[in-house]
Amino acid sequence: MTGNVWFISGATSGFGKHIALEALSRGDKVVATARSATSSKVTAELGSRGALLLDLDVTAGDAAIKAALGRAVAAFGRITHFINAAGYILQGPIEGATPADVQRTFDVNVLGNMALVRHQVAYLRTRDGGGAGGVIANFGSLASWGGGPGFAYYSAVKWAVSGFTESLHAEVKDFGISAVVIEPGYFRTGFLNSGGGNRQFVANQMADEYRGTGVEQVGAALDMVNDNQPGDVVKGCRVIVDVLTRTGVAEGRDIPMRLLLGPDVIQGVKDKIASTQQLLAQWEGIASSTDHDDVKKA
């Protein structure tokens, strides 16, 4: 048995589920949470392997979060690793979303995870957390690095999570807490399967209005890549657990602020850097011309 105790939200599928399985395979203790963790067939597998299953809707508010953390600590003692993996993609044209669509995707993907983090930081920072550091990991995406037609809201929430975690990393490092945003590319997790909870659509798809545009093309591309993604989620989660425990491939390395997973996201970041450098080269002179005349130039 190790001393690692993992508290995972969004554990019924994808990365949340497979991080839990990887941690359990190493003898770690796992608290697997989701809205229907205690009744899900997926999390039943985790429960059969010793995970504590807790129902927790990340949007339920402070009292529900505190109660879940309390039950986890009572069962396993000090939590060392928090994985905030709850989320979904909202697909479709920007104008086709209702206010409820937009509010819900931010509630789950951003505000719910932020609520978890507030309590996780307080726990790890204080005596309740043992005062011995700990890890908080949030999930960004390849979409954290670039937007596009048909997935504007998903890109928005993932940019928000990545930016939030960058600030979190700087804020909690003085307490010995590591904060990291995990940014995967395309992995074969079932995330894009239709009919599940992870791929949802704006209320009005406006198929006729957007026929032949990027919105339709991106939707077709997501259909095509579904269940054909290059990334192996088992391999990805093995790397994640190695990195967050500083073992295996990450032995001797510090936990990074940003963990990229997959050649596609690596290429996406390189493309973003190149396009940003091009933007600066073209516009730096104009962008730098707006100071007061009495400001000394470096």
Segment 276-298, tens digit of pLDDT: 999 999 999 999 999 999 998 76
Domains along the sequence of the chain with CATH: 5-264 (3.40.50.720)
**Structure-token pair, residue 37:** 């963790």
Coil, strand or helix: which one is 82? strand
For the stretch 174-191, pLDDT in tens is: 999 999 999 999 999 988
Contact present, 54 and 71 (Cβ < 8 Å):
yes
What pLDDT digit, counting tens, does each position of 90-126 carry? Answer: 999 999 999 999 999 999 999 999 999 999 999 999 8
For 102-109, the CB contacts below 8 A with 24+ separation are 102/153, 105/153, 105/154, 105/157, 105/200, 106/157, 106/160, 107/59, 108/58, 108/59, 109/154, 109/157, 109/158, 109/160, 109/161
Q: Which residues contact 166 (CB under 8 A, 6 or more apart)?
A: 181, 257, 258
Instruction: Say what the pLDDT of residue 88 is.
Output: 94
Residue 41 has pLDDT above 80, yes or no: no
Q: What percentage of residues in the chain have a pLDDT greater than 90?
A: 88
Q: pTM for this structure?
A: 0.95
Tens of pLDDT along 72-87? 999 999 999 999 999 9
